[in-house]
Amino acid sequence: MKPIISPVGDCAISIDFGQVIDPKINRHIRQTIERIQELNLEGIIELVPTYCALLLQYDAMLYSYAELCN
């Protein structure tokens, strides 16, 4: 399943990996967090995992929603 990316306010995005609580989805979320952290991007403020999504908070002065979706 391809993640669904949607805006959350003006400085965060939600990356949804499914609609169920599933260990495979949770593993995928944690792997995504690791990949983002390895990039060491300035302006990524916080990564908040949930059961089936990832909230990524960013500095809107450095990134646009469109840039982060690519």
pLDDT for residue 33: 98
Would the pLDDT of 46 be above 90? Answer: yes
Q: Tell me the per-residue pLDDT of 16-38, one tens digit each, with 9 for 90 and over.
A: 999 999 999 999 999 999 999 99
- For the chain, domains (ranges, CATH) are 4-69 (3.30.1360.40)
Sign of CA dihedral 27, 12, 70, 1: positive
Contact 5, 38 (CB under 8 A): no
In this prediction, residue 60 carries a pLDDT of 96
Q: What is the pLDDT of residue 70?
A: 81
What is residue 40's predicted lDDT score, i.e. its pLDDT?
A: 95
Distance CA 2, CA 38 (A): 22
Question: What three-state secondary structure class fits 69?
Answer: helix
Cα–Cα distance between 19 and 69 in angstroms, integer? 20
Average pLDDT, the chain: 95
